[in-house]
Amino acid sequence: MLDHLGLSVADPLRSRDFYLQVLAPLGYGLVTTIGKEITGGEEVFGFGPPQRPAFWISKSGQASGGAHVAFNADSRAAVDAFHAQALAAGARDNGAPGVRAHYHPNYYGAYVIDPDGNNVEAVCHAPAA
């Protein structure tokens, strides 16, 4: 349904470094940087799978704190790695990896709070291996 999503952050470089670490276990990385000469203001960073930036961060007004963003994970192990990496990168725990059967029997997710107060999730919908 969505093609891409953008969040405004307080410190784009801090958030860039945070998401570089946190999204790596999910197979996502920094795909592109749009420089100040194009934006006329701050740099904009696009993350996603190769050639497909789908998650953008920038400093465009006030930080988006309070948003919820969920990233697909290919496996439950990737959800676990996302959660561990996010905590190591300074995120606050907002829900350890586990099954959330109230969504559906195979919903395996983990939640953290990013540096701007956003609830960031990794979720795998596949059955346990």
Domains in the chain with CATH codes: 5-59+66-124 (3.10.180.10)
Mean pLDDT of residues grouped by 10 in the chain (129 residues)? 88 96 97 91 93 93 84 97 98 98 96 96 94
pLDDT of residue 129: 81
CA pair distance 84, 87, nearest whole angstrom? 5
First to last CA, the chain: 28
CA pair distance 111, 22, nearest whole angstrom? 12
pLDDT of residue 60: 76
